Amino acid sequence: MPSANNVRSRARERNSVLSRPEFMSLNHQPLRGGSGPPENRCGPKRAPQTKHQAIQKSEEPTDGGSKDRRESTKMPEEDCMQLNPSFKGIAMNSLLAIDICLSKRMGVCASTSSSWGGCRSMVALLALTGHGITWIIGTIVCLTRSNTLAGQEVLVNLLLALILDVMTVAGVQRLVKRRGPWEMAPGFLDCVAMDVYSFPAAHASRAAMVSKFLLSHLVLAVPLRILLVLWAFLVGISRVLLGKHHLTDMVCGFALGMFHFSLMETVWLSSNTCQTLISISTLSWSPFY
């Protein structure tokens, strides 16, 4: 039989072996109630969540702060990229981009520090010749000095055409509210004539209407007719050089001016009607004569 000393030495050796790190798990006693896997001893097994439940749980806000944070990170509709833009939309956006780029490049007299800043006063003076206030005052002065019925008839219809042009352009500008390429504040005369926005160009519309009106109702030599057409074009382009309008504003202004001329030709007032209007305006009209 082995001695007691041998038994004790073997027990010490066994304890020293079990104390090593690789055999530490052998020293732990198993938990009562079964020897299943650790996950089974931790508690009852939960039912697996379906995909729909997981999505609903992730969408439910934990508190008001997370909901506000998610709403703040939502992009506005105008900032969202349109994945399938139409050909018409692409073409319109491209044309507008080209229009803005060319208009800014042509605004060489937009300020005194521009490339053509030294010519700004001359270009502004040219634009003044197509201003609505200038033409309305000039037509009224000529009407008071006219002594012929034919001249008064032409001047009264021209005055009505100018008023129609000012009111129509101001109404369209109020509806569209397009700013100029350089975001300039309108001047005093522009505010008086209600020419505060960019589309359509009021000077171009007026110049086209007046030049066509004078070419149709005045007998002018060929050089004067050419100068009148050139003046209308220069008045329209001068506003682009000053940075007040885009190129498309000028083109639409010319088209609107031609429409105003055609409209006035359709509703042309006769000489008798013009004389009645003159009498009413001068407070000399009497219904008994």
CB 188 within 8 A of CB 195: no
Length of the chain: 289
Which among 131, 203, 246, 260 is annotated as catalytic? 203
- Give catalytic status of residue 245 as yes or no: yes
Q: How far is CA 169 from the centre of its chain?
A: 19
186, burial (CB in 10 Å: exposed 0-12, middle 13-18, buried 19+): middle
- Give catalytic status of residue 203 as yes or no: yes
Which among 52, 217, 245, 260 is annotated as catalytic? 245
Residues with catalytic roles: 203, 245
